[in-house]
Amino acid sequence: MTEARRKFDWPGRLKAMGAHLLISLTLAAALAALVMLVWYPWPYSVLAGGRELFWLVVSVDVILGPVLTFVVFNTAKPRAELVRDLACIAAVQLAALGYGLHTVYEVRPVAFVFEVDRFRLVGAADVRRQELPQARAAYRHLSLRGPLLLAARESNPGDERLQTIKLALQGYDVGTRPSYWVPYDSQLKRVLASARPVTLLYRQKPETAAELDGQLAAMGVDKASARFLPITARVQDWSVILKADGSIAGFLPRDGFF
């Protein structure tokens, strides 16, 4: 083997890169299960935008780590130097992955809240956290297993209502305020009073009637009695389909604000 070939050992570099790639893919698969199945269960992964952010972070991490290993790996190096180089790459890769995962964690959906005339998907970063001690005991810790189905109670007349308006102007709608969170089932009358007949969706886009028929049939709801409310979310506005009793039947990728 010539000196030049020893300095650029293709088989050795490719083997090292392949091993690094396998480790990176295994770690990415484990993290994907955590993010997509626990923090961002469907359809919240679409509504909250966590899916795109996570895959961007993982893709860059999985590609760059093995490529850097290919570049620095050289069996002609002293063992201590080679170990140091690979350790630096691993440290940088893990730091980048950790930062990206922390960002995904901070914007994870923690509550799906009915408020007045819509549902709001609330991310951890949206919550007015200073109100957590004032929340019901069950809601004082932000969920780690997908969003809780909740409702926002009505404001009391007087100072509380004025404070609600003031905070809403600052970006804190009642759905983001833990002191307003109550069990969803306790507000079913308000939900049904605000919900609109699904037949309006047919009138909005008559050309999609057959598609809508199939979607409602898959949810097991009767279009004559089903109702809907719009969803406000970080990335996309969908609609939630409600059964006659106010329970959630499913979700539609259709803007319900019209």
SS3 sequence of the chain = CCHHHHHCCHHHHHHHHHHHHHHHHHHHHHHHHHHHHHHCCCCHHHHHCHHHHHHHHHHHHHHHHHHHHHHHCCCCCCHHHHHHHHHHHHHHHHHHHHHHHHHHHHCCEEEEEEECCEEEEEEHHHCCHHHHHHCCHHHCCCCCCCCEEEEECCCCCCHHHHHHHHHHHCCCCHHHCHHHEEEHHHHHHHHHHHCEECHHHHHHCHHHHHHHHHHHHHHCCCCCCCEEEEEECCCCCCEEEECCCCCEEEEECCCCCC
Max mean pLDDT among 6-10, 14-18, 191-195, 206-210 falls in 191-195
pLDDT of amino acid 19 = 93
Average pLDDT, the chain: 91
Instruction: Tell the residue number behind the tokens 């484990």, with chain if given.
Output: 30
Q: Looking at per-residue confidence, does 92 or 235 come out higher?
A: 92
Residue 144 has pLDDT above 60, yes or no: yes
pLDDT of amino acid 52 = 80
User: What's the mean pLDDT in 210-223?
Assistant: 93
pLDDT of amino acid 3 = 52
> Residue 62's pLDDT band (boundaries 50, 70, 90)?
confident
pLDDT of amino acid 1 = 45
Tell me how far apart the alpha carbons of residues 33 and 73 are, in angstroms, rounded to a whole number: 31
Residue 157 has pLDDT above 70, yes or no: yes
Check: CB of residue 223 under 8 Å from CB of residue 213: yes
With a CB cutoff of 8 Å and minimum separation 6, the contacts of 51 are 36, 40, 45
Residue 2 has pLDDT above 50, yes or no: no
Residue 96 has pLDDT above 90, yes or no: no
User: What's the mean pLDDT in 34-49?
Assistant: 91
Tell me how far apart the alpha carbons of residues 198 and 74 are, in angstroms, rounded to a whole number: 65
Share of the chain above pLDDT 90, in %: 71
User: What's the mean pLDDT in 155-167?
Assistant: 91
